[in-house]
Amino acid sequence: MHPLVLASSSPYRRRLLEQLQLPFECAAPDIDETPRPAETAEQLTRRLALTKARALAGRYPQHLIIGSDQVLLLDGQPVSKPGNHAAALDQLRRCSGRTVRFSTALCLLNSASGDHQLACEPFDVVFRELDDASMERYLQREQPYDCAGSFRMEGLGISLFQALRGDDPNSLIGLPLIRLCAMLRNEGVELP
């Protein structure tokens, strides 16, 4: 088996990949993530997932490199990580009572052969109606300022939702593990 590399510095993606109990290393790709004119969210995430994996191919020439990228869409427009409390509160207010879509792309690149597998996993989150007090309580407890949508799915963020719709809830955290397992099996990696 080729060694695995996660093309990411995200602690959330790292924790997800650890669930598969396979040895891997992490390396941060240095790429330009600027959207191109008229590029859809899915096109952007697919391009960036592939670009992240390819950016590490020279350093890891005999590896399986995992690239992933995610965009949150609200009213068809991308929403970025809030970065601070005020922006997070604004995001939660905008999401309250609404459905938002996450588009998470995944690429598995075999750097030895140059072959890659690429997919995009959509996932919808239906927020319940949120009042200011509950949003404040949530933000004070979790401080999800590094998460698009201003919530942590793997934490107390689940309390903000009315429903989840999609094939793999791990895609909300940034790494669709069900699809990744299928890609790894296609490369001959043995999983339980």
pLDDT (tens digit per residue) in 76-102: 888 889 999 999 999 999 999 999 999
In a domain, 192, yes or no: no
**Farthest CA pair distance, the chain:** 54
Predicted local confidence at residue 76, as pLDDT: 81
Tell me if residue 69 is catalytic: yes
Enter the pTM of the model.
Answer: 0.92
Tokens at 46, concatenated: 């697919």
Predicted local confidence at residue 53, as pLDDT: 98
Residue 33 sits in a domain whose CATH number is 3.90.950.10
Predicted local confidence at residue 192, as pLDDT: 83
Predicted local confidence at residue 16, as pLDDT: 96
Q: Which residues of the chain have pLDDT under 70?
A: none
Predicted local confidence at residue 78, as pLDDT: 87
Strand, coil or helix: 109: strand
Query: For residue 69, what are the β-bridge partners?
Result: 105
Predicted local confidence at residue 75, as pLDDT: 86
User: Strands, DSSP E only, in the chain?
Assistant: 4-6, 24-26, 64-74, 77-79, 99-110, 116-127, 161-166
In a domain, 85, yes or no: yes
Predicted local confidence at residue 153, as pLDDT: 87
Please give the tally of structural domains in the chain: 1
Query: For residue 74, what are the β-bridge partners?
Result: 77
Q: Which domain holds residue 167?
A: 4-186
Torsion of Cα atoms, 100 then 105 then 106 then 111, to 10°: -160
Predicted local confidence at residue 142, as pLDDT: 96
32, 69, 131, 167: the catalytic one is 69
